[in-house]
Structure 1
Amino acid sequence: MTSNSDIPSPEELVARAHALIPNLRSRTAACEEERRIPQANLDEMFAAGLFNALKPKPFGGYEMGWDTLCDITLEIAEGCGSTGWIMGVCGGHPLMVTNFTNEVQAEVWDTNPNAIVSSAKMTSGSFKKVDGGYVGSGIMAISSGSQHADWFFAGGSDIEGSDKPLSTLIPLSEVTILDTWQVMGLAGTGSHDLEMTEVFVPDAHAFIGGTRPPGAGLYGGLYKVGHRALGPYTLAAVVVGMSAGALSIFIEGIKSRTSRHGDKVADFQSLQLRIAESAAELDAAKLLIRTNSRIAMEYIGRGESVPRDIHAGLIVDASYASLLACRAIERIFYAGGAGELFLDRDIQRIFRNVQAGRAQFGLNWDVQGTNYGRWALGLEGKQEASEPP
């Protein structure tokens, strides 16, 4: 149990994350080349207590809000996009674990207080009911952080002979990590597929969708209501944080740069305007993330669901924040010239990472913007899913 005297303030925790930016930035090339998060990054984040933000107090956590996780993620992503993605995704997964009983939570955190929980979605295969649990075989897709995780949560899995989805919590040691995440951006997240072969999942580690989870009622606030309205916000925070990091690098580079004719590039008005517009877009994107996550937490902190009209705005705003961040980095990337195209340059790496981040379904502007427009106009018909898969 974490006593209140051992819990840092949200501001202090965010400051700890900010202090890691230089170290994280120094390892971004290695992160991409090795296609995994450097262990030094994780060790520093564990030491700072960042993964404790949403963890329950009985298991050493701080029980802070999703808004704090967004602030932490903004900082970490400014240093390293892939590491920020793991912070934003896996940092929120204690909420998944609290769907299960205290005994199951103890299995996760008592042996290893720093246990990371990834997630995945079954794209082929199914589970079948057996005495005492379920047996599953198949492929679980895109499990960010799987190389560092101890457990993974899988929702929406098929059950043979049933139309109800199954949610499970499974040790990573029970599955095989397939080397599938060979991508142009966010390569360091290690979002590989997982293969299960006749894996037994005890009843205590599973519950059927639409039923009351075994851990329901153990905690209040965020753990009681969930995070459906806030799911895309840590992902948007990654994209915005990455772009903010690129802008910082761009500004520092411009200060000392001269043209081939010996002119100070910093004196070019066109670049000054590009910097100003990108900075304003990123300020607006950060304001959307921080304001909206706090608005949602006001409801969630009281144990209330976010009203539908506010929920609709939250979902579209998260996507729009990432759109602003994409515009911001495109503007400075194309101002960098041919010299920024080399694969050892930081801004081109961040540019690719931002494109990869925005490919996440919850941040897809075409989908989320259309959904909001249909909702605002009162149009009937099935909308696209709004929550991240």
Structure 2
Amino acid sequence: MTAVQERASAAEQQLASRRELLSAAKDLVPLLRKNADQAERDRRLPEENVTALREGGFFKLTTPRRFGGHQANMRTYIEVTAELARGCSSSAWVTMILAGGNYAAGLYSEKAQKEVWDNDPEAAIAGVLTPNATSRKVEGGQVITGKWAFASGSYQAQWIVLAFPLVNEQGEAIDQGLALVPMSELSIEDTWYVAGMQGTGSNTVVAEDVFVPAHRILAMSKVAQGQYESEFTEETEYHSAAVSALTLAVVGPQLGMAQAALERVLEIVAQGKPIAYSFYERSADAPSYQLNIADAASLIDRARLLALRAADDIDEAGLSGKYPDILVRARIRMDIGQAAKLSREAVDLLLNVGGAGSFAQANSLQRIWRDIETASRHGYVNTDLSRELYGKALLGIEEQVAPF
């Protein structure tokens, strides 16, 4: 089979998998929607959701096919998590995080991957990439101690990727490390008391003198340059632009949140109720409502187009074997920030249509609003920082203020 034929075959396989996963995600939306309030009350996903997501294969979205996973590319990753978010923001977010962890595990050596999936093909991996830890170098690896907040998916994960300072024998930090650690060696502190994304259970994971062998450690400086430990170079999904991929992933659920808000507002308007303190007997007849809905739908479309362009750039990098240059990576980062911003703005417009009733606890719009206000401010989608990175790249300024 020629290289062109192999690429065409891989594309067909991805398309078939995407259609299957999207169909399954759509079927799951009613269940997730039904349980969304419970997820908020419990501050974690209901077991019914977890079981459905696991049995549906969504926690294996990016697990290598060698271990029974879907090995989804970025376009599939984004579209599937967006679809799940139409039902429940938190369920989609946890799925996205676990898929990100499984994707990250695909960057490690075969030895590390086998430790994760040989005995448990269903294993899911969470991740926190803020290096809130101390470490010391010992024979064969590093010993880490620390606390990592915002650990979404930690209740559902069997493993987790944790950032920490990679040190030499003198205790000097020489890089940022990414440690692949079993959840069984960690504890969880109940710290997740927030206004939005309450159902994610994003508590704090704690490590006390946990030994991490060298084969389960990646150097962030290499990852940021597209240098990975995986020996399976034919698995192009894990040989693209990892930092860009992990950053883009957080946008998927936000696209679905905005879409869910649009669908809810259309349902409300379709009820034919009048506009309070006006002579409009049907809100659908009011140009102000029509314009706000049209503008919101257009913002959602634009957000989706930007996110999928970024996804296609990342997928193409893997297929071509060429690491994206700084300008492409900066544009991806810009697309990510703008997609999140546009999604949030769309929900704001839809709240104008929904009115004060949108904030009733019985109305799902208020939950979606709180969720997207929280999610769209994740550090990965810092819109102002994204603009700075892209502006510097366009002007040829080499100074880097963040990995991308």
Judge same fold: TM > 0.5, yes or no. yes
1:296 to 304, 314, 318: 314
2:48 to 25, 40, 50: 40
Report the alpha carbon displacement of residue 183 of structure 1 after superposing the two structures with TM. Answer: 0.9
Report the alpha carbon displacement of residue 29 of structure 1 after superposing the two structures with TM. Answer: 0.7
Aligned equivalent of 2:371: 353
The answer to whether the aligner puts 1:268 opposite 2:286 as a matched pair is yes
CA distance 1:129–1:370, change in 2 (3 Å): closer
2:108 to 91, 100, 110: 100
The answer to whether the aligner puts 1:175 opposite 2:186 as a matched pair is yes
Report the alpha carbon displacement of residue 361 of structure 1 after superposing the two structures with TM. Answer: 1.6
TM-score (norm 1): 0.90
Q: Counterpart of 2:204 in structure 1: which amino acid?
A: D
The answer to whether the aligner puts 1:256 opposite 2:271 as a matched pair is yes
The answer to whether the aligner puts 1:10 opposite 2:27 as a matched pair is no
Indicate if the aligned counterparts of 2:136 and 2:142 stay in contact, CA closer than 8 A.
yes
Indicate if the aligned counterparts of 1:368 and 1:386 stay in contact, CA closer than 8 A.
no
1:191 to 182, 188, 202: 202
Indicate if the aligned counterparts of 1:170 and 1:201 stay in contact, CA closer than 8 A.
yes
TM-score (norm 2): 0.87
User: How many pairs were matched up?
Assistant: 383
The answer to whether the aligner puts 1:372 opposite 2:356 as a matched pair is no
Runs of 4+ in 1 over 6 A off after TM superposition: 4-7
Please identify, of 332-341 and 30-39, the stretch whose mean Cα deviation from structure 2 is larger: 332-341
Q: Counterpart of 2:269 in structure 1: which amino acid?
A: I
Report the alpha carbon displacement of residue 122 of structure 1 after superposing the two structures with TM. Answer: 5.4
> Per-residue CA shift, 1:163-205, capped at 9, x if unaligned?
2332211111111111122111111112212111122223332
CA distance 1:328–1:384, change in 2 (3 Å): same
Which sections of structure 2, spanning at least 5 residues, go unmatched? 1-9
CA distance 1:165–1:101, change in 2 (3 Å): same
Please identify, of 119-128 and 29-38, the stretch whose mean Cα deviation from structure 2 is larger: 119-128
Indicate if the aligned counterparts of 2:333 and 2:386 stay in contact, CA closer than 8 A.
yes
1:26 to 31, 34, 38: 34
Matches within 5 A, 1:196-235: 196-210=207-221, 214-217=229-232, 219-235=234-250
For 1:361 and 1:210, locate their aligned partners in 2 and report how far apart those are by CA, in whole Å.
19
Q: Percent identity?
A: 28
The answer to whether the aligner puts 1:157 opposite 2:165 as a matched pair is yes
> Per-residue CA shift, 1:260-316, capped at 9, x if unaligned?
578222222211111111111111211222233123312212222123222221110
Report the alpha carbon displacement of residue 12 of structure 1 after superposing the two structures with TM. Answer: 1.8
Q: Counterpart of 1:150 in structure 2: which amino acid?
A: Q
Q: Counterpart of 2:383 in structure 1: which amino acid?
A: W
Cα root mean square deviation, aligned? 2.4
Report the alpha carbon displacement of residue 145 of structure 1 after superposing the two structures with TM. Answer: 0.6
For 1:105 and 1:375, locate their aligned partners in 2 and report how far apart those are by CA, in whole Å.
35
Aligned equivalent of 2:4: none
Which sections of structure 1, spanning at least 5 residues, go unmatched? none
Aligned equivalent of 1:338: 356
Q: Secondary structure at the match of 2:244?
A: coil
Q: Counterpart of 1:319 in structure 2: which amino acid?
A: G
Aligned equivalent of 2:7: none
